[in-house]
Amino acid sequence: MDSNFTFYSGNLAFFVRSVGHFDLHPGERSRIKQADFGEIFWCMEGSGEFRDDSGRTFTLLPEWIWYYPPGSLHCHGAGKERFHYRWLTLAGPSAGLIFSGLCINPGLTHAGPCPEEYFDRIAGTAGKPEKMPDLLSDAFYILTRIAAGSKRRHEPDSVVAEARALIDTAFADPGLNVGRIADRLHRHRVSVERVFKEQSGITISEYLQNRRCQEAFHLICETEIPLREIPRRCGFSSIHYLSRVIRRLTGSPPGSLRKSMASGNMKTPTFRTS
């Protein structure tokens, strides 16, 4: 959507290089680049897909940021929905120390609501090197908000809310499981499972399965989408696996279930997702 750059030629060890916000359409990707600056991406709407240096892919959701440290290979794009985000870059020989000093680690970090006015303030001042102290002041505020949000995510209620939000957004990914959820939350698997069960009364696996089943029943009973298309829309690896699950829950395969619902001979099951 827009971007602003400041080309600084002074003797500061770190400085604000650029700021802006952008929209990527579903499936669209940015240009892969090797960058000598630190960059954060703050998700505003939708979700983004980011790849780290090891080749693993992560989903960036609203109120989360992704950080690429100086020297990283940048590779990101939109997932199955629009990805609207803000970005901020810091450059200079000591730029990486600013992030590490605030305990902002490479990859995903929960940050909370985006302080958009500070991004706008930087955008309004960028391009004026003489305003660098003001630019850095606003940039520091953004980074300290990230650091504060990272600490809040360790609270039990926050962990559960974030796990649910991740599942609700990404349940259609057949590779999503407890291990990947814990990884994306930067938490130990056992810790996440324990807190989720204590707070929700069901396990993460049960919540994920229920969410997928809920969507599958919606698509089977309330749409005319071909049955062969439904598994990929709700996270089941194949139509055969979906059929086994549906038959176990209702006693009928998906095709028979659709006919029974259409004739009014069966009610849609309810699944615990709260």
Query: What's the pLDDT score for residue 75?
Result: 93
The answer on pLDDT for 231 being more than 80 is yes
For 20-34, 108-122, 143-157, 220-234, which range has the lowest pLDDT when averaged over its residues?
Answer: 143-157
CA distance linking residue 245 with residue 238, whole number of Å = 11
Query: What's the pLDDT score for residue 106?
Result: 92
The answer on pLDDT for 199 being more than 60 is yes
Residue 38: strand pairing partners: 90
CB atoms within 10 A of CB 8: 16
Tokens 């000591």 map to which residue? 94
| Domain 2-152 in this protein, CATH class | mainly beta
- Model confidence at 250, in pLDDT bands (50, 70, 90)? confident
Decide which of 129 and 23 is more confident: 23
Averaged pLDDT, 13-39: 90
Taking only the tens place, the pLDDT of each residue in 66-103 is 999 999 999 999 977 889 999 999 999 999 999 999 88
CA distance linking residue 2 with residue 228, whole number of Å = 41
Decide which of 147 and 71 is more confident: 71
Query: What's the pLDDT score for residue 71?
Result: 94
Share of the chain above pLDDT 90, in %: 32
What are the structure tokens assigned to 238, written together?
A: 């194949």
CA distance linking residue 238 with residue 236, whole number of Å = 6
Decide which of 37 and 151 is more confident: 37
CB 143 within 8 A of CB 104: yes
End-to-end CA distance of the chain: 37
- Model confidence at 54, in pLDDT bands (50, 70, 90)? confident
Residue ranges per structural domain of the chain = 2-152, 155-274
Fold of 155-274: Arc Repressor Mutant, subunit A (1.10.10)
Query: What's the pLDDT score for residue 4?
Result: 64
Query: What's the pLDDT score for residue 77?
Result: 93
CA distance linking residue 155 with residue 134, whole number of Å = 33
Share of the chain above pLDDT 70, in %: 89
Decide which of 193 and 3 is more confident: 193
Taking only the tens place, the pLDDT of each residue in 150-175 is 655 555 567 888 888 888 888 988 88
| Per-position DSSP letters for the chain, written without gaps between them | -EEEE----SS-S-EEEEEEEEEE-TT-BPPPEE-SSEEEEEEEEEEEEEE-TTS-EEEE-TTEEEEEPTTPEE-EEEEEEEEEEEEEEEESTTHHHHHHHTT--SEEEE--S--HHHHHHHHHHTT-GGGHHHHHHHHHHHHHHHHHHHHHTTSHHHHHHHHHHHHHHHTT-TT--HHHHHHHTTS-HHHHHHHHHHHHSS-HHHHHHHHHHHHHHHHHHH----GGGHHHHHT-S-HHHHHHHHHHHHSS-HHHHHHHHHHT-SPPP-----
